[in-house]
Amino acid sequence: MSGSKKKEGEARGVAKPWGGRFSGKTDPTVERFSASVHFDKALARYDIRGSIAHARMLASAKLIPAEDAESLVNGLHDIAREIEEGSFPFDPALEDIHMNIEARLRANVGAVAGRLHTGRSRNDQVAVDTAMYLRDTSLAAQLGLLELRQVLIERAGEHVDTVLPGYTHLQRAQPVRLAHHWLAYVEGLTRDAERFADLRARIRFSPLGSGALAGSTLPLDRDHTARALGFEAPTRNSMDTVASRDLLLEFLSAAAICMVNLSRISEELVLWSSSEFGFIELADAYSTGSSLMPQKKNPDVPEIVRGKSGRAIGNLVSLLTTMKGLPFTYNRDMQEDKEPLFDSAETLRDCLEVLSGSFATLEVRVGAMAEAANDPMLLATDLAEILVSEGVPFREAHEVVGKMVGRCTQEGIALDSFSAEQMAEFHPAFTASAAELLDLERSFARRDLVGGTSRDRVSDALATTARELAAEASALEAAKAEDAGGEA
């Protein structure tokens, strides 16, 4: 930068908010480039909660007068109300939400506001705010996944006897119950919920008191603030505390995996609602029309969910890439952790909500599913297993039934059209006609293994899963109450 431009930049710049080290002002371009308040204001309630706990701890440790702490706490409550009401004057020149709150506090309570940052760095301040945000947003993900699974269980209970083809390679493979198919969704979503539960279990240590990287010479009571903010204990290493973002990465990973599962579920809603399948019809509230073709009813909701999975995957890769080359401890690159986190949290929340609504309101076309599952070819494996039950090696049985299928294909006949005599010609172990052997209900009844598609197994799975979800709902309500019980 030339001398004249440098002076011009300093003249029109903004005074630095953090004290006396700098005599020059920040260039407006740098101010705009480095500002984060437009997105990190999502941490406002956590920053205020952490600051209140810190102020009370400072008074308890005799580091500030009790009356000053009370003034700080009252001022912070006032700021919280302003933010809630939408009247808080966010200023990009103050960089981030933390400096915005501190500046507003100074305007409201005067010079005593300068006591609040005693023994605290923005590094541990950001870390504790983010930990509390992660704790809440992970719980929100668990609650959203619970709601979607509850809807799926309820709808599955309506369709224990609804039959459709199961697919491999998107080719009709074997008949299954719709309830069993939707229970498959529930299993994967349960693992997603468990990932967020695992993460919440790791967010149990409070970063507050770690300072910039080496703690503080002041007699801070880190146990006090940890308990006040709902943590089990303080973090055990100040450098790791401010250097690490693996909890965020874990959230982004869990969110990306979950979004991939939601994308696959959405893909089936898109396929099943097409004219080619015709298995379901999405409610008008979860569909859109065409700007040109008046006959169209488009499955936009599951399509958008499917598309948004790319955002979640990208957010994970973005932060992994940011973190991979950083030395310990804090580096300003780490400001880039917030936008991916907030975006994935909001994306996941919205996708879970709209899919819950979509499943709750969609119409199942039972007849279309039954017709698609009525092809006797879907029971070809049953014929091979009948031979196995008569002592025939499976590879031999597979070859025999393959020849039967080949004959059907060549002659354009159905697999259940062979008489008892013709069946005996294929293999003497067959003792009945194909029509007698290829019975759908008997096929289902024989699939009575754990995890199978017999009516009893599916009914048991529904009942077991419903009980598990009820217990999970109670546990999550308790977790919500516990999290809300921290110091305000």
Beta carbons within 8 Å of 311's beta carbon, 6+ residues apart: 259, 343, 344, 347
The verdict on whether 54 is a catalytic residue reads: no
Active-site annotation holder among 4, 87, 169, 275:
169
| Cα(488)–Cα(481) distance, integer angstroms | 13
**pLDDT (0 to 100) of residue 2:** 47
* Phi-psi label, residue 438: left if phi above 0, alpha if psi -120 to 50, beta otherwise: beta
**pLDDT (0 to 100) of residue 295:** 78
| Cα(171)–Cα(450) distance, integer angstroms | 25
What sign has the CA pseudo-torsion 368, 370, 371, 377? positive
Q: How many residues does the chain have?
A: 488
Integer CA distances (angstroms), 451 to 29, 157, 184, 454, 460, in order = 61, 16, 10, 9, 10
Per-residue pLDDT of the chain (488 residues; tens, 9 = 90+): 444 444 444 445 555 555 556 566 777 787 677 678 788 899 999 999 999 999 999 999 999 999 999 999 999 999 999 999 999 999 988 889 999 999 999 999 999 999 999 999 999 999 999 999 999 999 999 999 999 999 999 999 999 999 999 999 999 999 999 999 999 999 999 999 999 999 999 999 999 999 999 999 999 999 999 999 999 999 999 999 999 999 999 999 999 999 999 999 999 999 999 999 999 999 999 998 877 787 789 999 999 999 999 999 999 999 999 999 999 999 999 999 999 999 999 999 999 999 999 999 999 999 999 999 999 999 999 999 999 999 999 999 999 999 999 999 999 999 999 999 999 999 999 999 999 999 898 889 989 999 999 999 999 999 999 999 999 999 999 998 887 655 44
The verdict on whether 169 is a catalytic residue reads: yes
- Domains of the chain with CATH codes: 23-118 (1.10.275.10), 123-220+231-372+465-484 (1.20.200.10), 376-446 (1.10.40.30)
CB-CB neighbours of 17 under 10 Å: 15
**pLDDT (0 to 100) of residue 39:** 84
**pLDDT (0 to 100) of residue 19:** 56
**pLDDT (0 to 100) of residue 29:** 81
Strands 233-234 and 205-206: parallel
Active-site annotation holder among 34, 274, 290, 389:
290
Contacts 24+ apart (CB under 8 A), 444-453: 444/175, 444/177, 446/382, 453/175, 453/176, 453/177, 453/180
**pLDDT (0 to 100) of residue 7:** 46
Question: Is the model's pTM score more than 0.75?
Answer: yes
